Amino acid sequence: MPMRFVDEAEIFVQAGHGGRGCVSFRREKYVPRGGPDGGDGGKGGDVVFQADRRLSTLLDFRYRPRHLAPNGGAGEGGNRAGRNGKDIVIAVPTGTVVRNAATMEIMADLTEDEQRFVVARGGMGGKGNSHFATATHRAPRFAQEGMPGEEFRIVLELKLLADVGIIGKPNAGKSTFISRVSAARPKIASYPFTTLVPNLGVVSHGPRHSFVIADIPGLIAGAHAGAGMGARFLRHVERTSLLFHIIDISEDEAPGAWRRHDEINRELELFSADLAAKPQVVAIGKIDLPAVRERLKKEIDIFREKGIEVSAFSAVTGEGIKTVLDRIVLTMERTAPAR
């Protein structure tokens, strides 16, 4: 269901209004001059976002863009308070960023399962007339209205939570690689932009190492400015701790591996300096093809002269896959923050 993946949505949320206070006076048979006994209004319901790791798309919000919490109940006589409005809890995928649509300011970043954020608070209930009785004003005939609940237009952005993000030009073999090393089954074909949405897979490497890897749709020159599909999906590698850069040199007219490497990294830097600074594992794929095998040593030597280690692999035959995964795990361990 690749086309059902939705990573951005705009919705309207409104918390419940507080209930109005009550104007009431005691009416008992043998109690003359009964005093005020109007109860307070109930509090309006809150609107709460809760992260849920079982969700993977914001699709539902396209069909249900308004979320309104119930109002608080009005106060009653006999100092009975109105009922509080029930909070509404909205489940969103883990990794969702909540922004104020008016300012685009980040209100919350829900990166942990079951993490909660109150996006709109319900209004307080109004006080009943029993609160306003004084020695000189024993029969107040007024009460407070409830306070309005908060309301916002909200932009939800989903950023996938992955340890490793696979980057590279279109048709570089990213989908084939992720299908080889994990249980993910993305669409694979021999034409560019086969992958229209990011794909996630869990890689188990050895007895102690496992990590989540994301296959990001192909980047092209100008992706940071909206060309191709890169600008839309670059956000999904912002949370990764490591980038796995796959380079394809299988086409006869293709530029050298270093030029392709440099072009993709320029797009990362133009999009985000922090993204460009992430550690990378670089590898040349498709070494099962004779044209690649013939050029491989020369291309690797160019990277070595520039101080960059390059691996080589074939996702079709499996050659070099273990070496690549070893390097990914080792690089993650080296760059992990100290605890």
From 127, 158, 189, give the residue that closes a domain: 158
104 and 33 fall within a common domain: yes
Instruction: Please determine, for residue 280, whether its predicted confidence score (pLDDT) is greater than 90.
Output: yes
89 and 211 fall within a common domain: no
- Mean pLDDT, the chain, rounded, equals 85
Instruction: Please determine, for residue 1, whether its predicted confidence score (pLDDT) is greater than 50.
Output: no
- Beta strands 47-52 and 88-93, pairing class: parallel
37 and 82 fall within a common domain: yes
Report the distance separating Cα 180 and Cα 177, nearest Å.
Answer: 5
* pLDDT tens digit sequence for 296-323: 999 999 999 999 999 999 999 999 999 9
Q: Is the pTM of this model over 0.85?
A: no
The full length of the chain comes to: 339
| CATH code where residue 72 lies | 2.70.210.12
Structure tokens at 244: 């796995």
140 and 179 fall within a common domain: no
From 137, 158, 179, give the residue that closes a domain: 158
Average pLDDT over residues 90-99: 93
85 and 111 fall within a common domain: yes
What pLDDT does 214 receive? Answer: 83
Confidence of residue 4 (pLDDT cuts 50, 70, 90): low
142 and 7 fall within a common domain: yes
128 and 247 fall within a common domain: no
Confidence of residue 91 (pLDDT cuts 50, 70, 90): very high
Q: What is the dihedral of CA 323, 327, 333, 335, to 10 degrees?
A: 180
184 and 98 fall within a common domain: no
Instruction: Please determine, for residue 195, whether its predicted confidence score (pLDDT) is greater than 50.
Output: no
Q: Comparing 192-196, 209-213, 270-274, 282-286, which segment has the lowest mean pLDDT?
A: 192-196
Average pLDDT over residues 108-133: 95
* pLDDT tens digit sequence for 217-251: 656 555 444 544 445 667 777 788 899 999 998 87
Average pLDDT over residues 241-263: 85
More confident residue, 82 or 170: 82
In contact, 234 and 270? CB cutoff 8 Å: no
* pLDDT tens digit sequence for 128-145: 999 999 988 888 999 999
Confidence of residue 254 (pLDDT cuts 50, 70, 90): low
154 and 27 fall within a common domain: yes
210 and 278 fall within a common domain: yes
Confidence of residue 124 (pLDDT cuts 50, 70, 90): very high
What pLDDT does 288 receive? Answer: 93
What pLDDT does 233 receive? Answer: 64
Q: How many domains does the chain divide into?
A: 2
What pLDDT does 227 receive? Answer: 47
* pLDDT tens digit sequence for 20-70: 999 999 887 777 777 899 999 999 999 999 999 888 788 889 889 999 999
Instruction: Please determine, for residue 2, whether its predicted confidence score (pLDDT) is greater than 50.
Output: no
Report the distance separating Cα 278 and Cα 162, nearest Å.
Answer: 14
Burial class (CB in 10 A: 0-12, 13-18, 19+), 95: buried
Measure CA 302 to chain center. 38
Residue 230 sits in which domain range?
164-335
In contact, 305 and 264? CB cutoff 8 Å: no
From 158, 191, 224, give the residue that closes a domain: 158
| CATH code where residue 183 lies | 3.40.50.300
* Three-state helix/strand/coil letters over the chain: CHHHCCCEEEEEEECCCCCCCCCCECCECCECCCCECCCCCCCCCCEEEEEECCCCCCCHHHHCCEEECCCCCCCECCCECCCCCCCEEEEEECCEEEEECCCCCEEEEECCCCCEEEEECCCCCCCCHHHHCCCCCCCCCCCCCCCCCCEEEEEEEECCCCCEEEECCCCCCHHHHHHHHCCCCCCCCCCCCCCCCCEEEEEEECCCEEEEEEECCCCCCCHHHCCCCHHHHHHHHCCCCEEEEEECCCCCCCCCHHHHHHHHHHHHHHHCHHHHCCCEEEEECCCCCHHHHHHHHHHHHHHHHCCCCEEECCCCCCCCHHHHHHHHHHHHHHHCCCC
The angle that helices 321-335 and 174-181 make with each other, rounded to 10 degrees, is 90
146 and 208 fall within a common domain: no
More confident residue, 56 or 180: 180
In contact, 67 and 61? CB cutoff 8 Å: no
117 and 239 fall within a common domain: no
